[in-house]
Amino acid sequence: MANERTFLAWIRTALGLVAAAVGLEAFAPHVVPEAVRTPLVVTLLLVAAGLAGYAFRRWLAVEGALRTRRELRGSPATVALSAVIVAAGIVLALAIALT
């Protein structure tokens, strides 16, 4: 069951990124300049799509490892996802502060 919960957590994170992108595009056109907003929204949507695909691949790999009693490896996606979220937050904060 832990494998399914982990999969769902990754999917919730991807949905959260989609919601953030939609929110930025819909509610921040007068707060964040378009030159910053559009690339940030596109990046968030691409990361969300990649994360959803990664979640499924990771779920399959862990499921296979559990069934065959192979060793489970850590996930490098956690570091990459954290870096993207930190970078997006910094870019957004700077864009808001400089307008």
Q: What span, in angstroms and rounded, lies between the C-alpha atoms of 66 and 68?
A: 6
Q: What span, in angstroms and rounded, lies between the C-alpha atoms of 75 and 25?
A: 31
- Report pLDDT digits (tens) over 34-75: 999 999 999 999 999 999 999 999 999 999 988 998 888 778
pTM of this structure: 0.82
Per-residue model confidence (pLDDT) at position 2: 85
Is the pLDDT assigned to residue 1 strictly greater than 80?
no
- Report pLDDT digits (tens) over 5-43: 999 999 999 999 999 999 999 998 988 999 999 999 999
